[in-house]
Structure 1
């Protein structure tokens, strides 16, 4: 009962309208028709005035909507004495708001689930190294500092990103990555905030504050998505003037041909614009929720609409089309330098770099048992390289041009297809090159092929890597347009020139943030915590899979189809019923009630966006394989008996 009361009190206008309608019906039944008429007229007139004020405000903001039809319908029904019908129109309009709210909550479920599960409390271990005085104090997750040791009890939510101190633990990360099965982490592995701990208590050391942690970044993206103004308002407005004009023409014709002004009111009660105002927004909310369930946070309905219309797609290479975990293949020291010494100093410098090659260099040094030293000073030139002072030596690691500017004797090293190199200079002398290889993601060819098969006319690679490496990866995944060795500003310039529009750009790193922000739709591969890219992008993939990009496009197209279909269903039903009403076959009261059924039908249809299909890459690959087999068979000719 409390829930029912809260629902009723949330919409007081509906409650008052129902009370007035019941009172009018009682008065009508007891013979007090004049009182009933005046009661209806006063109340409906107040609603008309309130609606007109809202219309004027909208017009001053440059927005012309569909409320004019509702106002005309209410005025017409009052003018011809159909005061019960006028009350039903008011109930329909106010009830439409409640229906939209309910459907919107249903459509937002996946998004609000993320917000509701946001970690709030952390158990901080005091004096964790002293077992005799160790105690646990509860604190707000926002108050946790980097380095604090936390206790996470069974089935609790991890409050901040941390490193696991316990020997092992099992975590449910489905709300973050979409992975349905629990994952096992070992001591030293990173545990993401928002993950649910398994059946044993574990300890973690905080590596980020709450506001910087993965889950809070996702929550911020969700809030952006919920607060954004969906394009469905504009979508409905595209139909507002034509629909209003057609409705008034039909109503006027009915009045003119019949000579009965009541016929004008009977037609207009069936022309109320609820299907346009409600069903399309519900469809876009459903699309946002469906994308979140698929592992993609989309920042608003405008992005959903743009995703549906994508005609050009551009991809970064490293970490986007490739795995993003390059492994060291070879150390090529220059004359006079030791390979392990070069690798150790390079790894020590690269611990201060955010470039994807840096992680591979650090891993290789650790695997070889080398000690990574702390730097006295370190600075990074974004996308070019890092300079650090280590044990009294100035170490530079980065692109050949950057290293050559500080060590003129630096020279390019030959690379096999698919390889990349980080060049090293020590104390102004070229010290050698570290050769790494990064394989394409297994799903990359299927994603590129799927996009081409579903209306994307142009696919390109925009990367800062060397041309030979970029071209090898592009050939492996099916991309024939490659722009290599680009600086961030050059990527932005090229993205602006790409045609046809809209342009989708997919990237993962800090250096991709400018081009992601500049593209019509920027998608960040955010599973590895690329904060700058995620902030700049219009959508963020939470799973470490490029397949989610194809899913986002598929969901966007399905959502737009559902939104348009909902609008056209509402328009078609309304116009059909209006034409019937011109004959006088539908009284005003019955017409107002029938229009409620039209609203319900369009809203139920709009909720189909919640079940939008994702891209079936496996089926697409099989179709491509069959097509290739048929082509080969045709080229070879029929087999002889």
Structure 2
């Protein structure tokens, strides 16, 4: 009871309405019916005047609501002596705010949870071992921080303790704790295990991973969907219809009470509450999936998406070249790889790093190399165990040997090797296709996307090889950033979604109808220009986002349809004089509650989406852990 009264303090009009109802009941019980009528009627008139003032303010701001119906419903019921019905309408109006707040809190539970879990305080260690608590925003790069057991890592940093076990589920979706060792990178938002650890900050709070997610969530919470503004405009014809029906019932019957009986059931809560609640529910559920939708209007665009374009590297693929095979002309493949890696370890090229990593995977030490010379964009020369080794592109090695090297398999890049002036073989590398990419393309087509595109600056043959594996409909290769923007702007059918992960994707993400950034790796420029940020390293979340958008729109329309249909039905019944004003007012309360509860269905996946999640899990296993968690939460 105490909590209920405390909550009532936030809604004074609800409390006032209940008090007036109590006073009216006491007066009627004492035989003072006239006094009860005057007390309740006076209160109802005051509420109507306050509502009218708000209506005028909204009209000046360009918002068309259903306030006129509420004002006329109160006025007509008071005029014909149905003062208890007028009080019920007052309760509906005042209680609607409380009901909306409850529904909104329930709908945005996941968004609110992210905000509540944000770290606010950090523990800084000084050189003498002293500990100082400070706001997380005051942490500087290079500060040594202590993270106590089960605390949230406050900023991105490098682990200085020997080891740690962290829960990164809020960042990666992986529910199993991850073991970290000295020198490993730690992301803010991860939850420490049972042992205190030390880290050195490598980023300010505002630039850390979890705080970027928090900023996106705050932006999402402040948005208002175009669909909700459309619901405001739907109220205009509904209001005209209700007033016309009420006036017609009065004229035909000659009974003024018919006007009141019709109007008390003509205050459709779905138009002012249900649709916003549905959108909040959709945004909250997408956050649970690791998909931050910045604007609730983006959900409407997601639902209507017909073309999806993808960047290749890091989006359709893992973005990291890997050695797939070694082809030696003479001698062993392990020897060729070791010779190549011995020279490549002095190069900063990404392909060189992949070759070195492959050679070191077996644990063997690389032979020493000296007299290293790197020719930018070509290759590296050096001496290994008395042999002259040249490693690099086909053109570079052809100049060294005078022989044309063979082509690597389709879709692969070759790092060619020459030893003592003779061609020795090549190391084949490829940026592998993500395991979930083909099933994501299939899922998008099943949900209604008509065309998928690849926009990449890579070569034509590599792009087509990846597209064939992925199931992409349209391939555009060897594109500059401006070419990608032009391709998105001219793409049909629309709306067009663009998915990318790199800094060079920022312009094309901004140009698309819906820009989606794969933000798990912290590509902040792309994330800032995108409408949707996927915080997990999982491409299948793109398809899930479209499903969430469609589910949200469907639930919102259903809520409005249910509310308007039931209200119209009740109005027609009331017009025939068989629904007393007081009963009608209580029935309208039930209609409002029904619509809001229906709108809350947006926080749960639909039957088709659940089937799609199971299908993705069966095909790749990538979504299985999150799918199970969501089923439990739902």
**Counterpart for residue 555 of structure 2:** 562
Q: How does 1:276-287 map to 2 (within 5 A)?
A: 276-287=271-282
TM-score by structure 2 length?
Answer: 0.82
CA distance in 2, matches of 1:539, 1:422: 38
For residue 134 of structure 2, the aligned residue among 132, 139, 142 is 139
Most deviating of 204-213 and 142-151: 142-151
Gaps of 5+ in 2: 328-338, 369-376, 378-392, 395-403, 417-425, 621-634
Shift of 1:516: 1.2
Mean CA deviation greater in 227-236 or 188-197? 227-236
CA contact (8 A) 1:488 1:515 kept: yes
* Residue in structure 1 matched with residue 193 of structure 2 by the alignment: 198
Q: Secondary structure of the residue that 1:327 maps to in structure 2? A: strand
**2:205 is the alignment partner of 1:210:** yes
How big is the shift at 1:90? 1.3
Distance 2:450 2:415 in 1: 35
Residue 14 (1) aligns with residue 14 (2): yes
Residue 473 (1) aligns with residue 466 (2): yes
Structure 1 residue 52: deviation in Å?
Answer: 2.3
1:209-240 CA-partner distances (Å, limit 9, x unpaired): 11110010010011011111133422422421
* Cα offset, 1:19, TM superposition: 1.6
Distance 1:310 1:220 in 2: 26
Please point out which of 407, 431, 445 is paired with 1:452: 445
Contact in 2 for aligned 1:67/1:273 (Cα 8 Å):
no
- 1:44·1:90 contact (CA, 8 Å) conserved in 2? yes
State the partner residue of 2:218.
223
1:358-404: CA deviations, max 9, x gaps? 98589679988799xxxxxxxxxxxxx9xxxxxxxxxxxxx99xxxx
Q: 1:43 to 1:465 in 2, by over 3 A?
A: same
- Give runs of aligned pairs for residues 182-193 of structure 1, distance below 5 A: 182-193=177-188
Say yes or no: does 1:541 pair with 2:539. no
Once the two structures are superposed, the pairs formed by residues 441-590 of structure 1 within 5 Å of their partners are 441-590=434-583
Distance in 1 (CA, whole Å) between partners of 2:367 and 2:202 is 24
- Per-residue CA deviation, residues 498-522 of structure 1 (Å, 9 max, x unaligned), is 1221111111111111111221111
Q: Could you tell me which residue of structure 2 aligns to residue 99 of structure 1?
A: 99
Alignment check: 8 A CA contact 2:283 2:296 kept: yes
Aligned ranges for residues 198-277 of structure 1 at < 5 Å?
198-277=193-272
Identify the residue that residue 179 of structure 1 maps to in structure 2. 174
Offset at residue 330 of structure 1 (A): 9.8
Query: 1:116-143: CA deviations, max 9, x gaps?
Result: 111122222222xxxxx43333222212
Contact 2:322 2:432 in 1 (8 A): no
Gaps of 5+ in 1: 128-132, 333-337, 351-355, 372-384, 386-398, 401-410, 424-432, 626-641
Aligned partners of 1:419, 1:616: CA distance in 2, in Å?
36
Among 319, 324, 328, the residue aligned to 1:324: 319
Question: Equivalent residue of 2:320, what SS?
Answer: coil
The alpha-carbon distance between structure 1 residues 98 and 359, as it changes in their structure 2 partners (threshold 3 A), is: farther
| Equivalent pair of 1:41/1:78 in contact (CA under 8 Å) | yes
Deviation of 1:307 (Å): 1.0
Report the TM-score, using the length of structure 1 for normalisation.
0.81
Query: SS state of the match for residue 576, structure 2?
Result: coil
Q: Give the direction of change, closer, same or farther, for the CA distance of 1:219–1:624 in structure 2 (3 Å limit).
A: closer
2:153 maps to 1:158? yes
Alignment map for 1:248-397 (pairs within 5 Å)? 248-327=243-322, 343=344, 346-347=347-348
CA contact (8 A) 1:574 1:598 kept: yes
Shift of 1:38: 3.5
CA contact (8 A) 1:232 1:284 kept: no
Deviation at 1:339, TM superposition (A): 6.6
1:293–1:23 CA distance, 2 compared to 1 (3 A): same
| Contact 1:178/1:293, CA 8 A, preserved across alignment | no
Which aligned pairs between 1:611-626 and structure 2 lie closer than 5 A? Answer: 611-613=604-606, 614=609, 616-617=611-612, 620=615
Instruction: Quote the residue 2:109 is aligned against.
Output: 109
Deviation of residue 190 (structure 1)? 1.4
Does the C-alpha gap of structure 1 residues 623 and 249 become closer, same or farther in structure 2, counting only changes over 3 Å?
A: farther
CA contact (8 A) 1:462 1:484 kept: yes
SS of match in other structure, 1:438: strand
CA distance in 1, matches of 2:153, 2:145: 9
1:633 maps to none
RMSD (CA atoms) = 3.3
CA distance in 2, matches of 1:568, 1:412: 68
CA distances 1:276-322 after superposition (whole Å, capped 9, x unpaired): 21112111111111111111111132111111111111111111111
Residue 186 of structure 1 and its aligned partner are, at CA, apart by 2.4
Residues 471 and 524 of structure 1: CA distance in aligned 2, closer, same or farther (over 3 Å): same
Contact 1:151 1:204 in 2 (8 A): yes
Taking the aligned partners of 1:621 and 1:293, their CA distance within structure 2 comes to 17
C-alpha distance 413-464 of structure 1, shift in aligned 2 (>3 A): farther
Q: Which residue of 2 is the match for residue 126 of structure 1? A: 126
How many residues align? The count is 565
> Cα distance 1:531–1:412, how it changes in 2: closer, same or farther (>3 A)?
farther
Q: Determine helix, strand or coil for the equivalent of 1:324.
A: strand
Q: Report the alpha carbon displacement of residue 422 of structure 1 after superposing the two structures with TM.
A: 11
How far apart in 2 are the matches of 1:413 and 1:342? 21
| CA offset digits 1:473-502 (Å, max 9, x no partner) | 111000130111222222122111112211
Q: CA deviation at 1:161?
A: 0.8
